[in-house]
């Protein structure tokens, strides 16, 4: 809904037409059509098709002739009764009216297009977006485009009822995580941090952080963490704490001191944090260990320490001892900056939030069919052409961004700075340069080098493209990729470069003479083997650049690669065991649990995809990464877990926050906390009472769950409510009005008049569900 709402807003505020050619500008500014579209779903058919109408309302006093309609539709449009599908590239469609009934949109009148498409429309995210009108002036062939405000009538809302939510919350509370007992063995005081530490023991008393608290650093490896801490609390406390290297006082001090207290691979990131009324002692053996101690320490302070303006305090930290180290060495989050471009400050903010949650790998999906986002000095067209989409451009309007020129890219200088920023937060950035599929932006930017002109193969991938796969059969492919990977390797210090390789459609390459010749020469039986040949060459290129190859699980379907490759499993995890047995390192990111671009639930208003099901915070949290039957030796090859923020629907900053949180917090605990310590009962309460308030102060616009209400009790006139994250305030009214921050707070079951009850969940900064 938000998607369309935004488009309406944009269009309403700039009713001026968007222009493609300069000559057209004067004329179109004068005419500026006022057009509205109405999209109505007529039917979802059992044979996996849908019928819908698009009504175009001409609000101006001028007839519209010589028009075409551009739009994006995730569910392919296969037929329009009154128009032809003049162009289709991926999910972009350009429709040209054919029937005389629709050729001219009369002044103050309307025309209707009857559409048939593939699949069913179950969510507002399924309906077409980014509608625009293309008007050609036949006199001088000028073309103008205009974004059309859209109203939709899709589906009746299928929101879960308060009773469903109530039942689900109860059920979740009774579902064991990784086979652990359900009952919360811990109190909130024993589990103050997300992700939950390996051990936390409370002691008596408090430490009070004050303006004159000293920071004593007795290990140079701790310097960066100490400075990070001082900076991170400065705004909220107003304190500029002093950093000293010689001990001058016996109390009111935070001491950073080297100590080797744990052996093995976990020592790399381990820390000990001892808080007593006189002093805080932080022990670690590495700069990462100190850094994670700091992240815990921040969370031990009141939630307001995350605010950006000065807060009151007092800044009390409970006495305790924490010993901590991660479950997995790889704790990742993928962000797709190709489908939607995000400014670098937003990415820095995401890195900050990752660091707070002790995540340490940022998998940066930088290129895809809809955009190329990294400057490559040898090939400037990759960004001058490949980074931009819009009507009349080489890359068509995609994913609802409309006819205007949309896009952007990151310069190598910006990336170097971002890499430093990430390194300061102990985050490795692994870039993903997709090949051979998902490569349309690349191919169209360098057609003379990358197009196999004689290839007559007919294919279409899941994303609807028929021209987005590189050819493994022409040498210039390797030359270009070699040059690109060489630059990428220099910009990113990460050992691993991810080369994608997912979703390569069947039917590719077979009708290319150069591929036929190559297959014959190398005695390759099918395109899987051909792709394998391609991947082994790419792996060699990476090795020559002193890099290790990472790729989606498809990279080993055609044969074995050098076992140094990291395999990212996104599909059903059944195949994981095989991959482990074959000797590869594995990163687990099953879509059904860890794709945070999927909708939270079946509500048609919930944004996101659902091809792998729905993924709420509980589903993310309850994932069991190491299946019970995995031999211990093989389990060691599982490097870790990763969440994914694919960006087809990440249309705004708000949307990014909504999709990422609270799921990222669940991921953090999955990635860091020992399996035996994980428990939804405790996690959900910690979220509601401690962690979401931290995110409120930080300004994260996470998704707020609606309250659940016990239906049986309600019939008896008793309001008994629950919420996914117990502790989030719930407020209600009995007069039918919408609950506000001033409405009554629900504290315990209470007698009410059920007839006009309304209830909402709130946050500590007064947002509501």
DSSP label of 105: B
Query: Which lies closer to ligand TNX via its Cβ, residue 120 or residue 232?
Result: 120
Q: At 4, which helix (H) or strand (E)? A: helix 2-13
> 268 is written with which tokens?
């790399």
CB atoms within 10 A of CB 63: 12
Q: Tell me whether residue 75 is exposed, middle or buried, using C-beta atoms within 10 angstroms of its C-beta: 0 to 12, 13 to 18, 19 or more.
A: buried
Shortest separation between residue 565's beta carbon and ligand TNX, angstroms: 15
Among the options 82, 352, 502, 503, which is catalytic? 503
Backbone phi and psi for residue 365, each to the nearest 5 degrees, phi listed first? -80, 100
CB atoms within 10 A of CB 517: 11
- The answer to whether 666 touches 617, Cβ cutoff 8 Å, is yes
Shortest separation between residue 398's beta carbon and ligand TNX, angstroms: 12
Shortest separation between residue 436's beta carbon and ligand TNX, angstroms: 14
Residue 503 among the catalytic residues: yes
Map residue 441 onto helix, strand or coil: helix
Query: Which lies closer to ligand TNX via its Cβ, residue 648 or residue 657?
Result: 648
CA distance 92 to 398: 6
DSSP label of 571: S
Shortest separation between residue 584's beta carbon and ligand TNX, angstroms: 16
Residue 438 among the catalytic residues: yes
Name which of 587, 381, 412 is nearest 489 in CA terms: 412
> 159 is written with which tokens?
């929101």
Shortest separation between residue 460's beta carbon and ligand TNX, angstroms: 15
Among the options 340, 426, 438, 681, which is catalytic? 438
Q: Which single residue brings its beta carbon nearest to ligand TNX? A: 646
Map residue 298 onto helix, strand or coil: helix
Q: Which residues partner with 709 through β-bridges?
A: 721
Q: Which residues partner with 142 through β-bridges?
A: 137
Query: Which lies closer to ligand TNX via its Cβ, residue 165 or residue 555?
Result: 555
Shortest separation between residue 376's beta carbon and ligand TNX, angstroms: 21
- The CA dihedral of 606, 608, 612, 616, to the nearest 10 degrees, is -50
Query: Which lies closer to ligand TNX via its Cβ, residue 27 or residue 502?
Result: 502
Query: Which lies closer to ligand TNX via its Cβ, residue 5 or residue 611?
Result: 611
Q: Which residues partner with 186 through β-bridges?
A: none
- Residues forming contacts to ligand TNX in the complex (CB under 6 A) are 502-503, 552, 570, 595, 597, 609, 646, 648
Query: Which lies closer to ligand TNX via its Cβ, residue 128 or residue 727?
Result: 128
Query: Which lies closer to ligand TNX via its Cβ, residue 41 or residue 644?
Result: 644
Shortest separation between residue 570's beta carbon and ligand TNX, angstroms: 4
DSSP label of 737: P
The alpha-carbon radius of gyration of the chain (Å, integer) is 28
CA distance 389 to 472: 26
E runs forming strands in 589-727: 638-645, 708-709, 718-719, 721-722
Among the options 219, 269, 279, 368, which is catalytic? 368
Catalytically active residues are 368, 438, 503
């Amino acid at each position: 809904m938000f998607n369309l709402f935004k488009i309406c807003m944009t269009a309403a505020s700039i009713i001026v037409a968007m222009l493609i050619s300069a000559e057209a500008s004067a004329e179109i500014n004068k005419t500026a059509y006022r057009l509205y579209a109405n999209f109505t779903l007529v039917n979802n058919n059992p044979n996996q098709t849908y019928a819908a109408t698009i009504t175009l309302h001409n609000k101006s006093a001028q007839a519209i002739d010589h028009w075409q309609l551009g739009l994006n539709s995730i569910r392919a449009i296969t037929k329009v009764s009154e128009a032809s599908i003049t162009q289709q590239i991926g999910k972009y469609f350009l429709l040209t009216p054919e029937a005389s009934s629709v050729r001219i949109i009369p002044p103050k009148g309307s025309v209707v297009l009857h559409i048939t498409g593939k699949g069913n429309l179950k969510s507002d995210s399924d309906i077409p977006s980014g509608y625009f009108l293309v008007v050609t002036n036949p006199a001088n062939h000028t073309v103008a485009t205009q974004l059309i405000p859209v109203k939709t009538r899709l589906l009746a809302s299928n929101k879960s009822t308060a009773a469903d939510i109530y039942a689900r919350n109860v059920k979740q509370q009774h579902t064991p995580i990784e086979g652990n007992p359900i009952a919360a063995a811990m109190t909130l005081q024993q589990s103050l941090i997300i992700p939950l530490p390996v051990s936390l023991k409370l002691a008596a008393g408090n430490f009070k952080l004050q303006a004159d608290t000293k920071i004593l650093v007795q290990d140079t490896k701790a310097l960066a963490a100490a400075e990070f801490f001082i900076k991170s609390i400065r705004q909220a406390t107003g304190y500029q704490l002093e950093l000293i290297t010689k001990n001058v006082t016996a109390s009111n001090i935070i001491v950073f001191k080297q100590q080797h207290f744990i052996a093995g691979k976990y020592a790399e990131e381990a820390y000990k944090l001892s808080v007593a009324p006189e002093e805080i002692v932080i022990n670690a053996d590495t700069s990462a260990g100190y850094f994670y101690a700091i992240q815990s320490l921040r969370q031990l302070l009141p939630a307001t320490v995350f605010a950006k303006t000065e807060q009151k305090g007092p800044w009390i930290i409970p006495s305790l001892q924490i010993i901590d180290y991660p479950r997995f060495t790889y704790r990742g989050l993928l962000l797709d900056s190709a489908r939607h471009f995000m400014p670098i400050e937003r990415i820095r903010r995401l890195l900050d939030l990752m660091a707070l949650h002790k995540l340490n790998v940022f998998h940066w999906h930088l290129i895809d069919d809809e955009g190329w986002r990294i400057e490559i000095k040898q090939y400037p067209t990759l960004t001058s052409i490949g980074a931009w989409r819009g009507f009349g451009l080489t890359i068509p309007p995609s994913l609802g961004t409309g006819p205007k020129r949309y896009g952007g890219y990151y310069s190598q200088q910006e990336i170097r700075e971002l890499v430093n920023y990430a390194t300061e937060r102990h985050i490795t950035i692994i870039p993903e340069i997709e090949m051979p599929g998902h490569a349309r932006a690349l191919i169209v930017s360098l057609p003379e080098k990358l197009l196999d002109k004689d290839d007559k193969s007919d294919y279409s991938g899941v994303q609807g493209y028929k021209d987005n796969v590189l050819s493994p059969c022409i040498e210039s492919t390797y030359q270009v990729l070699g040059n690109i990977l060489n630059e990428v390797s220099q910009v990113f210090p990460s050992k691993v470069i991810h080369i994608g390789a997912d979703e390569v459609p069947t039917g590719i390459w077979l009708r290319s003479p150069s591929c036929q010749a190559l297959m014959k020469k190398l005695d390759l039986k099918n395109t899987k083997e051909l792709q394998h040949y391609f991947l082994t060459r790419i792996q060699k290129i990476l090795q020559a650049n002193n890099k290790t190859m990472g790729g989606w699980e498809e990279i080993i379907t055609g044969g074995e690669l050098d076992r140094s490759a990291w395999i990212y499993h996104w599909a059903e995890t059944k195949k994981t065991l095989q991959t482990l047995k074959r000797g590869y390192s594995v990163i687990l990111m099953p879509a059904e649990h860890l794709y945070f671009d999927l909708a939270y639930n079946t509500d048609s208003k919930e944004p996101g995809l659902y091809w792998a099901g729905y993924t709420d915070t509980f589903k993310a949290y309850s994932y069991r990464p190491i299946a019970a039957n995995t031999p211990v030796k093989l389990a060691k090859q599982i490097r870790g877990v990763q969440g994914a923020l694919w960006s087809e629907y990440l249309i705004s900053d708000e949307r990014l926050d909504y999709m990422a949180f609270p799921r990222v917090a669940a991921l953090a605990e999955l990635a860091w906390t020992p399996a035996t310590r994980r428990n939804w009962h405790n996690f959900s309460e910690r979220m509601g009472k401690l962690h979401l308030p931290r995110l409120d102060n930080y300004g994260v616009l996470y998704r707020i769950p609606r309250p659940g209400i016990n239906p049986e009790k309600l019939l008896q006139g008793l309001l008994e409510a629950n919420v996914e994250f117990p502790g989030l305030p719930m407020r209600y009214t009995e007069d039918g009005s919408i609950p506000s921050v001033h409405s009554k707070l629900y504290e315990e079951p209470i007698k009410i008049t059920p007839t006009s009850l309304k209830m909402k969940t709130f946050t500590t900064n007064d947002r509501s569900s």
